[in-house]
Structure 1
Amino acid sequence: MRQRWIFTLLGLVFLNTGQPVHSETQAAPFVAGFDRFSRHAELQPQAGGQLLISELSCVACHPSQRAELQPKRGPRLTGAGNHLQQQWIREFLAAPQISKAGTTMPDVLHGLPAEEKQQAITALTAFLTTQQSDYPEIKATGANPVPHEFWKKGNVEQGQELYHKIGCVACHEPDETYEPGEIKISPTDKMLAQLDPEDIKELGLAAAVRPVNSVPHGNLPAKYTPKSLTFFLLNPEQTRPAGRMPQLKLKAVEAADIAAYLLRKQTEVQTADKNTIAPDLIAQGQQLFVELKCVNCHETKKLKPKLFAQPLAKLNAAASTSCLHAAQKNMPAYPLDQQQQTAIEQTLASLPDQNPASPKQQLDFQVLQLNCYACHERDKRGGVGFNRKPYFETAAHVDLGDEGRIPPTLTGIGFKLQKKWLSKVLNGRGDIRLHMQARMPVFPKQQVSALPTAFEKVDGKTQLPDSKVFPDHNKLASSGRIMLETGCIQCHPIRGESMPGVVGTDLGDVTNRVHPHWFREFLLDPASLKPRTRMPTFFPGGQSQNKGLLDGNVDQQIAALWGYLKAGSKQPLPEKILVAKSKNYELVPDKRPIVLRTFMQEAGTHAIAVGLPEKVHFAFDAEQVRPALAWKGRFLDAQGTWFIRFAPPADPLGSNAIQFPAGAPVALLKYNQQPWPTYSPDANELQFRGYRVDAAGIPTFLYRCGKFDIEDRFEATEKQALKRRLTIKGSPQQSDSETLWFRGLTGKTLKQLNPTTMQNQAGLQVSVSSELTKAGLLRKRDNQSDWIIPVPATANTTIEATYQW
C-alpha cells in the first residue's frame, strides 16, 4: 500500500492554518527563499530585503558596491531568435506577470499608450529575433549515446519519471497524475501526521511540515521548441549564468525525454526568419533595448549598458513614485506585494548603518540565493519540503530510511568534508550515494567556487593533519582490517567490493573525503554529528566492544580504521568480503548476452533467462511457451542454479521488473470474442521446439501453433526497451473457422497512449506498426482487457513489437 496519504493529509491541514500559500497565478515576483522563509518571519528582515534586491536585479540599474546585493540579472538573449518562439516573446513583453506568473522580470512597457506599446513590442521582438546562436555539438560517448536529432526522439513517459525522480520537483511543481513509488514513512513523519496543527506550532515544527511552493515554469510549450528546451536542460548555464537553474548531469536522451514531457501539450512550433525583418525595425528595437535598460540585465551581442539610475544608497524608499510602487513611464514596474515592499524598504533604510556582512552571513546568504535549501537542511533551516518527500526515492526502493533517499544535511559540512572533496562535489564529480535517485546538481563554477572555503571558514574547527589526530595510524592498518569486520562492511562497500546486498557509500576513499577529526568524533558518537542517522555507535560510552584487539584501546582502534582505509589497495580486503567474493556467482552480461536455463517464480521450472549487455533482461517460460518477465539493471546469481539442488527460485538482481501478459502470445480463435486459451499441461496449444543463438549471442525461440511455425526474438534498444520480432511461417490458407491472432497486451485496464501504443495498469507499454494497429481489436471479458491483432494471411509474416516500462 502506498503511504502518500500522510503527506497529502498534512499538506491539506497546513493549507488551512492561515499561512500564505501562493500558486503560479500569483502576480508578485516569486523568489524561493523569500517565499519559504521571509513570509514566515524565519529570516532577519534585512536578509529578506537583500535577497529581493539581488534576485530582482535592482543593482543592475541602481549601482552599489555591496557584494551581497549584486544582481542575478536575466537570461542571456544571444540565442533568443532561434531558441524562443516569436509569439511568446511578444506576449511576454506585453505582460510579463500574466505570461509567467511569478516572474522576476518587470514590466518595462507599462507606461506607454496602447499603440506605442504595440510598436515597441514589434520592434523589440524584431531585434531579439536577430539574436541567434548555433547549438553546441554534443559528442557521443559510451555512457552518453547521442542519436541523430535526439531532441526529436524524447519519450514523454520516461521524461515524466526522470522529472519526478532526479530532483526537479524539489523546486518545481510535481504532476498530480504521477504516482511516486512506495516509501517507508519515517517515525518522525508518522508522529507529525498524528499531531494537531496547534501542537505542531507549539513544538516549533511548523516550518518542517509547511508545504513548499513551486518555482513557476510558465507556459513552456509556447516558449520553447523541443530542440531549444532540450539543449537548455543539458546546459542551463549557457543561458542562465546566475545559476538559479542548475544542470542535473543529464544525458542527451534524458534531456530530450524531460523536454518531451514538459512540452507534451505543445500543438505547434513557430519559427522566425530574421532575413524577412526590415532593418529599420531591428534598429528601432535595438535602440529601445538600450533606452529601456533591458541591456542592463540581459546580455546580447555587442550591446553594453550605458544608462544607470540613482545609486542604491541614495534611493528614497518612501518616494511617491518608484519601482516599488506607482512606477511611472520609463520605470520598470514590479508588482510587489506588501511584504516584499516592506522588506525592501527596510533594507534600503538601513543601508547606511549596515556593517559588512560576517563570513557566516555571507555564506548563509549565498546558500539562500542558490536555493540549496530546496534539498538540503542547514542549521535547522530548509530541506526537502514535506509535501515533496514522497518523490525522493532510492534505486529499486532499497529501504535505507530518509537518510538513504533525502539529500544530506549541510550542517557542519565544512567540519566534515575536506575542501578539495567539497569542490569536487560542487563540480559534479563527487557522486557517492549511488542508491539515491535524486542527483546532486552542478552550478556554474563562478557561483560556487568560493563555497568550499566559506564552509570551512564558518564550520571548521581547528583542523589538524591525520598524523596529529592519529599518530600511529600507519602502523595500525592491519588491525583496521579486522576492525572493519565488526560492523562496517555489513553496510558499506570497500573499494567497490562488498558483502551481498550492501548498498551504502563506499568507504574506500573516505580518508580523501572527510577530515580526520570529524572521522574520530563521528565514530565515537554518530548521532551527535548526524541526528537520526542509522549509523550505530561501536564505542558506547567511549568503550570498545572488541577488547581483544589493541587491548581495547578506543583511540588506537579508530586510528587503525583510518590507517587501513588510507592505505587503500596496499592492504587486502577484509576477510569476510574475500570469502563472499569467492562465492559470488553473479552473471554479468558485459559484452555478450548470457542465456541461463533456471527456475524462476514468474517463469516456472523451465525458465530461460536472457541477460543483455544493455542491462535489460527477460525470462522465457519454455513450458507455457511465452515471455514471462523482464527487468533492468543487474542480471542473475547462478549459484543456486549451478550448485544447490533444492535452491529457491532465482530472483532478478536488478529492478523495475515487469510481468508479461499471462497466456500464450498467439492463438487460433474461431471468432474474435472467443476466450483466450489458458495454459494446460495436458492440452497446450503451443509446442516448444527449442531455441537457436545467432552470431550476436541472442536466442530466437522456436515453437509451433497449429500449422504455423513461429520464431520469437527479443533484443534491447538504446533506451532499455525490448524489441520483439515474431516471424510466422505457415500456410496462407487459414481455415474459415480459425484465425491466428497475436496478443499485443492484456491487463485490468488498457489505455491507448497514441495511435500505435497501448499501456496497461502496470505501466507496460507495447507499440506495433500502424498497419497492425488498424486491424487490432480491443476487447473486455471478465474484468480483463485484451488487445489482440489478427496475423495477416500470408506465407511469411513478421510482427514487430516494442515493450517499454
Structure 2
Amino acid sequence: MVIAFHDSCMRASGCCFLRSRTVPREFGNAGEVVSMERSAWFRRCSWRVLAVSFCCVLWSAAAEAVEDTVVVPAWQRFRAEHLSAEQAGRLLITELNCQSCHGAYPGLTLQARQAPVLTAAARRLNPVFVRQFLQNPQGIKPGTAMPHLPAAAANPAVLDALTAFLTAGGGWRAQAVSADAIRRGEDLFHRVGCAACHGDQRSDEVIEALRRGLAPPADEEEEPEADAVGKVKPQLNSRPDFLMPLGRLEEKYSLSALIQFLREPHLVRPSGRMPSLNLSPEESRDVASYLLRKVQVEANIEYEYFEGSWNTLPDFSSLKPVSKGTTTDFSAGVGSRQNDFALRFLGYVQIPKTGEYRVHVTSDDGSRVLIDEQEVVNNDGIHPPTGRSGAVQLTAGSHALVVEYFEQGGGEELSVEIEGPELGRQPLSALTTLTRAAVQREPQGPVEPSAELVAEGRGYFAKLGCAACHQHGEGAEQLTSSVKAREFAKLNPAGGCLSVNVPAGLPVFALSDRQRGDLQAALAAVASVQSESAPASEVQQAMLSLNCYACHVRGDLGGVSEPLNHVFAGSIPEMGDEGRIPPALTGAGDKLNDEWVRTVLSEGAKDRPYMATRMPRFGGQHAEYFAPRLAAVDRGEVIPEVVFEAPDHRVKADARQLVGDQALSCIKCHRFDSYAATGLQSLDMTTMTRRLRRDWFHRYLADPQAYRPGTRMPAAWPGGRSVVPGVLNGEPELQIEAIWRYLLDGRRAKIPSGLERQAIELKPTGRPLIYRNFLEGLSSRGIAVGFPERVHFAWDAEHMTARLIWHGAFIDAAKHWVDRGPGNQSPMGDHVMVLPAGPPLAKLSSLDQSWPGGNPRETGYRFQGYRLNAAGVPTFRYQWNVVEVEETLTPVANEPDNGLRRTLTVKSAEPLNDLWLRVAAGKIEQVQDAFVWNGVRLQVEEGLAVVRRSGDQDELLIQLPAGVPVATVRLTLIW
C-alpha cells in the first residue's frame, strides 16, 4: 500500500488506522509517497479536513489480498513502538507454544500458552465445526494460533478419523437461548471485563454513541463530521487488531457446554490465557446466551399469553388466552406487556436417563413448574427475582411439562433449569419438545463412527503431532506425540515452520512477514540468551502473555486503549477514571503484600465494588510466578519501626479519631466494612492491611500524588505537617503508623465516628445507666453498666464476671431499638478491653494445677441477680456451691481517663481454703507495685497476688485468705 501526500495536504489533519497504530499527518511531506509494509494490519484510512486538502490513498498494483495472521494481543498492540524483534519473538514463542515441540527456550520461565485440553472435547464441541476447523483453521477462526495441517486438510479420510476420535459419543446439538438471557448477557459481557480482551461486539453505531458519552462536552470538541445519510462517522477504529477473536461460537458450542466453559475455563485452557471472571451460574448462562445469540433452533415450546392483574398465579383453566404461539425458551419476554400479564408454557421434557432430577426456577414475580401434573417447584407470589428448586424422580422418556408465570409490576424475569444423572445444569428448554415424541435430529457429524474409525483418528492424533500441543487423556491414558522436533539451539531460523514455503509434513502457522522475522530474531539469539532472565524482564513477559496490559498500566506500557475506553464503567461518576479504570501496576510489588498478590491472581478479586470490570482469576501457577518477581523488582524504602509511648489501645483510639468525621474524614470517601462512606464509596478501609504493605502505606499517605498523579486522595500531611495537630503531637509518622495499626484489626476495628448516623446514644447522667441486651463478645446474658464518669463495663451473667471495660461513649441502642433489633451491639466508646472469661474462682491444690475451663454453670455457679445501692451502682451476686460472692465495680479518678475499682466479697458456710481468683490471662509484667497486662495496669489493694505460667500464657491470680468465712479482694484497673 502507498499513501501519496500532495501540496494541498499541508493543512490537512488525519491518520491512517493500522488497527492499533496510527500514522500522523506529519509522517509525509508534500509530494512524498510513503509505502507501508504489506501485512494484516491495514484496516482503513480516516481523514478530517481542516482546510482545502487533497490526499490519495493508493493500493500498489502488485499487492495481494492480505490474509489474517495469528493474533497475540500484546504483539499486535506493542510490537511497533515498544518491543524489539528479539523481545517480540520470545513473546511469540511462548504464545504459539513452540516449546511443546522444541523444549525449553533459555530465559522463558512462564508457562507457555497451552493448547486447549481435548480430553472431553466430545462433550462440548460440534463435530461439524471440528471437521471444518481442522480443514481450515484461519478460515473458521481468523487469528487463531492453531496452525494449518496440510496432511490432514487435503485428506478427507484423515479429517473424518480425527473428527470421529475427538467427538465420538458426544451427542452435540444446538440449544435454544433466551431473549432475556441474551439481553442480560450483552450487558455483562461489555461490563465485567470480557470486552477488554475480546472487544466490543455491538454495532459501530452503538459503540460510537457510547464513546461520545465519555467524550469531553460539546463545547470542548470539534463538531464531528456526518456522512451523506447523516450518521456520525466513528472517530476511532471499532475493531482494533489486538483483540482476541471469538470466532463462530454458535457453530462450535452448545449452550450448556459454553456455560460450563465460562464457569471453569482453566479446565480446558489451563495456562490462564482465558482467565475466569468468577461468573455465577446465572451470569455464565447469560453471557453464553449472548455469545450464542445467532443460534437458530426450531420452536419447541407452546405458550399461552394472558392479561390481567394478580397477586398469585391465576387458575389458567378458567382464563381465555389473549394469544397463543410457539417459542424456544421459557422467557418472560414472550409477553407483549411489561406488567399485568401471565404466561403458561406447555410441552414435553425428554428425559435421557432414569433418576432424580432437580428443577431450578428464578422468577419475578410468581411461577410454578409441573411435570406429569405433579408440582415440582412452587415460586408463587409477588417478589423480586427469587430462586427456588425442587426434586423429582423421572424415568427415561417423555413427560408432560407445564410452566406457569405471572408478572404484576416492576421487573419481569423467568428462567427454568434442570440437572440430573450425567446431565449438568442447563436450561430446561434444551430438553423440551412440542410433542410427546422426541424430535429426530439430523446427525451433526459422522454417524455413529465405528471403533475402527475412532482408533484410526487416535493414531493420527499422535502421528500428526496433535498430542504435542493438546492434552488428551489423563495419567497413563494421556496420548503422546510421535513427532520429534529439534531443540531451539539446533534450529535453522529460516527453515522448518518459519520457511516461506513450509516443507511437507510440518504445521503452517499464519504468520506475517514481521512475525516470522521476530521469531527468526529470537532463534538467532538463542545461543547468547542467559539461562536465567532478570525479574523485571520476566514480569513484563508475563504481563504481555497474559494480556494484563489490556487493563493495567505498568511503567510506560499498557493501560486501557482508547478504542476500548468506553467499555470500562463505574457506578460513581464523581470518581472519574479512578472509579472505572483498573489501577496501575507500576510499583505493585512495593504496594501489595506477597500473599495478596497470590490471592488476587489465584482467586480473582472484587475489592472495588464501584468498578464494573472484575479482576479475573488466572490460577495458582501464575500467582506463584508473579509474587516473588514483583517483590524483587519493586520493593522500595523500608520504613523504620515506630515506637509509641502510649499503649496500643490508646494508639488505635487516636487513629479512630483521625479517620473519623472530626479529623481527616477518611470515611467521606472510604467504606468501612458494611458501613457506607458519607460521600464517594471508595475502597473499604478494613481490607487495606490485608492487601497493602506497611512501608508503601506510610509513603503513599505522606504523598499520594507522587504515587498516583491526579488522584482524589488528599494530602493530609502537606509539607510534612499534619492538618490535625492535636492528635499524637501532630507528628505524621506517628499518625500514619497509628492508622495502620488501627486498620490491622480489619473488620474487628471499632467503627469511626461519623458512620453511625442514626445512632441512639445512651448517656449516663447523674447516676449509672444499665443496659441489658445482646452485647458483642459476651453471652446472651450480658449486662452493660455506664457511669457519668465516662468509664463503663459489661458483666456476663453466664461467666459470672466482668468481661468488657471501656472509656468514652456508653452504648448505641439503635441496633436493638430500631426495627426488629437483631445482632449484638458493641460498646460505643474507645479503649475497649476484654477481660478473661469465667469461671472466676477455683480451688487449686497447687500452682501447677490448670485453671478449670468450661461453662461455670456446669460446675455449680448460679447467678443470683444484682441489687442497686442508693447511688444506683449495681452489685452482682452469684453462688458457687457453698460460696457466695458479691462484686461491685465503681469509677476511680485518673488522668486522662478514669479507671475502675473492682471489689469482691466472698462468703462461705465453710472456712475458705485454697481458693483463688483469676483476674488476668496473657502476657503479664510486674512494674513496681502493679501488674501490666495487655495495656491494663492492675493494682491489687487487698489480697495476695501471684503471677504464674500456665501453658502458653501468664495468669494473674489472687489468693483469698485461708480459714476465714468472709474475705474481700479489691483491685483497680487503669488503662
TM-score range, shorter chain: 0.5 to 0.7
Letter in 2 for 1:551: N
| 1:262 maps onto 2:291 in alignment | yes
1:282 aligned partner: 454
Name the residue aligned to 1:347. 522
Aligned pairs (5 A) from 1:56-67: 56-64=96-104, 66=106
2:742 maps to 1:564 = yes
Could you report, residue by residue, the CA deviation over 1:732-764 in whole angstroms, capped at 9, with x for unpaired residues?
xxxxxxxxxxxxxxxxxxxxxxxxxxxxxxxxx
Letter of the 2:188 partner, please give it.
L
Q: How many residue pairs get matched?
A: 546
| Residue in 2 that maps onto 1:126 | 164
Structure 1 position 403, deviation (Å): 0.7
1:401 alignment partner, one of 569, 572, 576? 576
2:627 to 421, 427, 452: 452
The 5 Å alignment of 1:182-201 reads 185=214
Structure-2 residue corresponding to 1:413: 588
Match of 1:91 in 2: 132
Q: Which residue of 2 aligns with 1:510?
A: 688
* 1:536 correspondence with 2:703: no
The structure with more radius of gyration: 2
Instruction: Note closer, same or farther for the CA distance 1:357–1:154 as it changes in structure 2 (3 Å cut).
Output: farther
Relative distance call for 1:65 and 1:251 in structure 2 (3 A) is: same
Confirm whether residue 100 of structure 1 aligns to residue 129 of structure 2.
no
**RMSD, aligned CA:** 3.8
The structure-2 alpha-carbon separation of the partners of 1:153 and 1:357, relative to structure 1 and needing over 3 Å to count, comes to same
- Give the fraction of aligned pairs with identical amino acids, expressed as a percent: 31
Q: Measure how far apart 1:487 and its partner are.
A: 2.5
Matches of 1:60 and 1:549 in 2, distance apart? 62
Of the three residues 261, 265, 270, the one matched with 1:232 is: 261
Normalising by structure 1, what TM-score? 0.62
Native 8 Å contact 1:31 1:55 kept in 2: yes
Instruction: Give yes or no for contact 1:393–1:438 (8 Å, CA) kept in 2.
Output: yes
> Does structure 2 retain, via aligned residues, the 8 Å contact 1:78–1:133?
no
Task: Give the 3-state SS of the residue equivalent to 1:41 in structure 2.
Answer: helix
| Range with greater deviation from structure 2 (339-348 or 430-439) | 430-439
Task: Provide the rounded CA distance (Å) in 1 between the counterparts of 2:733 and 2:505.
Answer: 70
Does structure 2 retain, via aligned residues, the 8 Å contact 1:129–1:274?
no
- Displacement after TM superposition at 1:430 (Å): 3.7
Change (3 A) 1:527 1:46: same
Q: Of residues 538, 541, 563 in structure 2, which corresponds to 1:365?
A: 541
Matches within 5 A, 1:427-576: 427-428=602-603, 430-461=605-636, 463=638, 475-485=650-660, 486-568=664-746, 572-576=750-754
Quick one: which of 165, 184, 189 aligns to 2:191?
165
8 Å contact kept, 2:594–2:628: yes
SS at match of 2:539: helix
What are the within-5 Å matches in structure 2 for residues 622-641 of structure 1? none
DSSP-derived class of the 2:505 partner: coil
Determine helix, strand or coil for the equivalent of 1:442. Answer: coil
- Spell out the pairing of 1:571-610 with structure 2 (5 A cutoff): 572-579=750-757
Structure 1 residue matching 2:756: 3-state secondary structure? helix
Q: CA deviation at 1:322?
A: 3.6
Distance 1:503 1:468 in 2: 33
**8 Å CA contact retained: 1:36, 1:213:** yes
Contact 1:52 1:344 in 2 (8 A): yes
The equivalent residue for 1:298 is 470
Q: CA deviation at 1:339?
A: 0.8
1:124 partner letter: L
TM-score, normalised with respect to structure 2? 0.52
Structure 2 distance, partners of 1:442, 1:190, is 42
Contact 1:208–1:385 (CA under 8 A) maintained in structure 2: no
- Which of 72, 80, 88 is the equivalent residue of 1:48? 88
Equivalent residue, structure 1, for 2:112: 71
Match of 2:882 in 1: none
Contact 1:232–1:239 under 8 Å retained in 2: yes
Q: Contact conserved, 1:11 with 1:210, CA < 8 A, in 2?
A: no
CA distance in 1, matches of 2:237, 2:694: 32
Report if the CA contact (8 A) 1:477-1:567 is conserved.
no
Using the alignment, how far apart are the partners of 2:287 and 2:145 within structure 1?
24
Whole-angstrom CA distance in 2 between matches of 1:31 and 1:46? 15
Question: Which residues in structure 2 correspond to 1:635-784 (within 5 Å)?
Answer: none
The answer as to whether partners of 2:148 and 2:507 remain within 8 angstroms in 1 is yes
- Distance in 2 between the 1:131 and 1:239 partners? 19
SS, match of residue 541 in structure 2: helix
Q: 1:478 to 1:103 in 2, by over 3 A?
A: same
Q: Residues 212 and 523 (structure 1 numbering): CA distance in 2 closer, same or farther, change over 3 Å?
A: farther
Question: Tell me, what secondary structure is at the counterpart of 1:496?
Answer: coil
Structure 1 residues without counterparts, runs of 5 or longer: 1-7, 136-148, 195-206, 584-805
In structure 1, what is the equivalent of residue 487 of structure 2?
311
Q: Is the 8 A contact 2:601 2:619 kept in 1?
A: no
Instruction: Call closer, same or farther: CA 1:570–1:123 in 2, change over 3 Å.
Output: closer
Distance 2:556 2:646 in 1: 35
Amino acid corresponding to residue 493 of structure 2 in structure 1: A
- Are 1:376 and 2:552 an aligned pair? yes
State the alpha-carbon separation in 2 of the partners of residues 472 and 521 from structure 1: 24
Change in Cα spacing, 1:341 to 1:14, as seen in structure 2 (3 Å) is closer
Measure, in 2, the Cα distance between the counterparts of 1:113 and 1:92. 9
Distance 1:182-1:329 versus aligned 2 partners, 3 A rule: closer
Contact 2:19–2:42 under 8 Å retained in 1: no
Give the CA deviation at 1:78: 1.2
**Which structure features the higher share of helix residues?**
1
Deviations, residues 93-116 of structure 1 (Å, cap 9, x unaligned): 1111111110101011x25794xx
Distance 1:106 1:209, change over 3 A: closer
Q: Given that residues 184 and 399 in structure 1 are in contact (C-alpha distance below 8 angstroms), is that contact kept between their aligned partners in structure 2?
A: no
Structure 2 CA distance for aligned equivalents of residues 323 and 519 of structure 1: 50
Between 1:303-312 and 1:357-366, the stretch displaced more is 303-312
**What SS class does the counterpart of residue 393 from structure 1 fall into?**
coil
More strand by share: 2
Runs of 5+ consecutive residues of structure 2 not aligned to the other structure: 1-14, 28-35, 45-65, 224-235, 298-440, 762-975
Q: Is the 8 A contact 1:550 1:556 kept in 2?
A: yes
What is the rounded CA distance, in whole Å, between the counterparts of 2:675 and 2:160 in structure 1? 63
Q: Is contact 1:480–1:564 with CA below 8 Å preserved after alignment?
A: yes
CA distance in 2: counterparts of 1:554 and 1:477, whole angstroms? 15
Whether the 8 Å contact between 1:100 and 1:218 is mirrored in structure 2 is yes
- Native 8 Å contact 1:83 1:228 kept in 2: yes
Q: Output one character per residue of 1:394-430: Cα deviation in whole Å (capped at 9) or x when no partner.
A: 13x5421101101111110111111112222223364
For residues 665-709 of structure 1, what are the alpha-carbon distances to aligned partners after superposition, in whole Å with 9 as ceiling and x for unaligned?
Answer: xxxxxxxxxxxxxxxxxxxxxxxxxxxxxxxxxxxxxxxxxxxxx
Shift of 1:256: 1.1
What residue number does 1:640 align with?
none
Paired residue for 2:271, among 235, 242, 245? 242
CA distance in 2: counterparts of 1:247 and 1:288, whole angstroms? 32
Shift of 1:262: 1.0
Task: List aligned pairs for 1:148-163, cutoff 5 A.
Answer: 155-163=181-189
Counterparts of 1:190 and 1:445 in 2: how far apart (Å)? 50
Task: Work out whether residues 112 and 329 of structure 1, in 8 Å CA contact, stay in contact via their aligned partners in 2.
Answer: no
The 1:306–1:54 alpha-carbon spacing in structure 2 relative to 1, beyond 3 Å, is same
Secondary structure in 2 aligned to 1:400?
helix
| SS of corresponding position for 2:108 | helix
